[in-house]
Chains A and B, each alone.
Chain A
Amino acid sequence: MVDAVHKTDATTPIAKTAGNSTTPDNASPNRRTGRKYAVRLWVVRHSRFFEWFYGRFASAFLLLHPFWKFVGYQRAERPVAFVERHVKGLLFDCRMCGQCVLSSTGMSCPMNCPKQLRNGPCGGVRADGNCEVEPDMPCVWVQAWKGAGNMVHGDAILTVQEPVNQSLRGTSSWLRVTAAAAAARSAAKEKA
């Protein structure tokens, strides 16, 4: 009889992972752990500073272009991606999509949206400004709108973003942006 009780049946609907004493507190259908959002929200409150800092940081990275070239962008990829993953993971709950748009989204990472929207909030945002899918999480895009309000170039939130290139997932966005900037700089020099 025990077998009959435990037999899984294809017709039994898969229930939501929530609700009884044996399920872990933070289980959710998309396996996101119920972490605190304090750091992420703090960053959005100080998005003006991070915008300034990111600008400086990008120029510093570009200054290092000869070094990256010497090491080789491909060889630098793994250690830089490692650092990027952990630094941005701590600050923005970065998901390493590989094509960072933080400066266009008020320093609130859009990949934390359960629908991974990169162009603004869905219609399901709760009246308290929390996420439709995860009622405990403040909507990424409500935060983005707040963050963009603090920033000098906050208007960037109004530009339409391209769909994510899934093949770049897990790679370093810092190196890619630097390589692109260096290429653009040398192209401009050649022209001049």
Chain B
Amino acid sequence: MAHIDENPLGIGLPLDPLPGHSSLGRLERVLRRGEFAVTAELNPPDSANPEDVYERAAIFSGWVDGINAVDASGANCHMSSVGICALLTRMGYAPIMQISCRDRNRIAIQGDVLGAAAMGVCNVLCLTGDGVQVGDQPGAKPVFDLDSMSLLETVRTMRDHARFLSGRKLTSPPKVFLGAAINPFAPPYDFRPHRLAKKIEAGAQFVQSQYCYDVPMFREYMQRVRDLGLHEKCFILVGVGPLASARAARWMRSNVPGVHIPDAVIERIEGAADQKKEGKQLCIDIINEVKEIEGISGIHVMAYRQEEYVAEIVHDSGVLRGRQPWKHEVGRSDALVVERLGHIRQGKEEHQQEMVEAAAHLPQPKAH
């Protein structure tokens, strides 16, 4: 099926989403088409150099359906997610912008959602965020004005009702695909499926899970999710990632909030001659197990500082088999930028005085 990528009334105008879709993004299309989605996490640079972002995104180019731009994950300061997303969309990548409630209040967040959507961001992942105490600046003020649930509702209100939380109207609502996070591996275990139901009620259309290293536990969770019928209301992506070594696994278990790694997994890696290789193999094995679980729509690969192995893991697990080829779409305002850049590249001399005179004598727009 051919998709129309430009508004016939003008290239600068917003394009209507496909029937039943809330965004223009690739991730939503892939998921709705029933293909197994792959998303990955970009390691945010500690620099002001855009090339660092381009370089880190290039390794995911083409075969990843969404690149997560983290919002100071673990309360460690990095380049902002809005900034990363702006750079990624500029290069034609499809980012998933993470928003955490730890650092910004509702005023800042709503502004960022509009800004990001204007930059071409199609996916927003709503998170509560880690506490400030785990990060590099534990003296910071934790904001938590909204929580992940009310954040979802806020963005959904902006998208579906074209209004801010205050009720003030938006002239052009942000067309975004809404995501949330789940952690089936933390107590209270009985509450977790109900919490997913709450998130769906608040507007979540897809969810990405915390690192899954305990497949039996995840199966049990999914059983209860299916009993509640939630897998039909929301796309569930399982979080996976390679463990670099048994030592790294132990460190993660005790220092990263919400990560559950069973002893058996650590023992398996510890017993291997090449721990790094075994870590990758373990990740592939987990992907192969979880992709067969009913109600799983994709994987989310988080390979912190091992991003170069993500391609190998995805390839070896064969989750992209049978994929339809994909064509890059020209963004709706890209043509304007190209035109403008063309003018700039010509390097014409500009005489300010003449230009201001011309501008001053432009026909005044009529007051409405």
State yes or no: do A and B come from one complex: yes
Cβ-closest chain B residue relative to A129: B187
Within 8 A of B (CB), among A127-179: 127, 129, 132-133, 139, 141-142, 145-146, 157-158, 160-164, 166
Q: Which of A123, A129, A139 contacts B181 (CB 8 A)?
A: A123
Q: A29-B139, A142-B187 are in contact. Are A121 and B133 (CB under 8 A)?
A: no
Q: Which of A13, A29, A124, A145 contacts B188 (CB 8 A)?
A: A145
C-alpha gap A15/B188 in the complex (Å): 32
| CB of A134 to closest CB in B, whole Å | 9
Cβ-closest chain B residue relative to A163: B150
The answer to whether A133 and B133 touch across the interface, beta carbons within 8 angstroms, is yes
C-alpha gap A162/B157 in the complex (Å): 12
**Cβ-based interface call for A20 (8 A):** no
**Cβ-based interface call for A30 (8 A):** yes
Q: A115-B128, A132-B131 are in contact. Are A158 and B197 (CB under 8 A)?
A: yes
Which B residues touch A146, using CB under 8 A?
188
Which A residues touch B186, using CB under 8 A?
121, 123-127
Tally of chain A residues near chain B (CB < 8 A): 38
Cβ-closest chain B residue relative to A15: B138
> Which listed segment binds A: B64-72, B140-148, B321-329, B359-367?
B140-148
C-alpha gap A118/B181 in the complex (Å): 16
The answer to whether B181 and A16 touch across the interface, beta carbons within 8 angstroms, is no
Mask for A14-29, Cβ within 8 A of B = 1, else 0?
Answer: 1111000000000011
The answer to whether A166 and B145 touch across the interface, beta carbons within 8 angstroms, is yes
The answer to whether A13 and B136 touch across the interface, beta carbons within 8 angstroms, is yes
| CB of A97 to closest CB in B, whole Å | 12
**Cβ-based interface call for A59 (8 A):** no
> Which residues in A have some Cβ–Cβ distance to B below 8 Å?
13-17, 28-30, 114-127, 129, 132-133, 139, 141-142, 145-146, 157-158, 160-164, 166
List 20 A-B pairs, Cβ < 8 Å. Answer: A14-B137, A16-B138, A29-B132, A30-B133, A115-B128, A115-B131, A115-B147, A119-B202, A120-B195, A121-B188, A123-B210, A123-B257, A124-B183, A125-B258, A127-B187, A129-B188, A132-B131, A158-B197, A163-B154, A163-B165
Instruction: List the 6 shortest-distance A-B pairs measured between CB atoms, nearest first.
Output: A123-B183, A124-B257, A119-B149, A14-B139, A133-B131, A163-B150
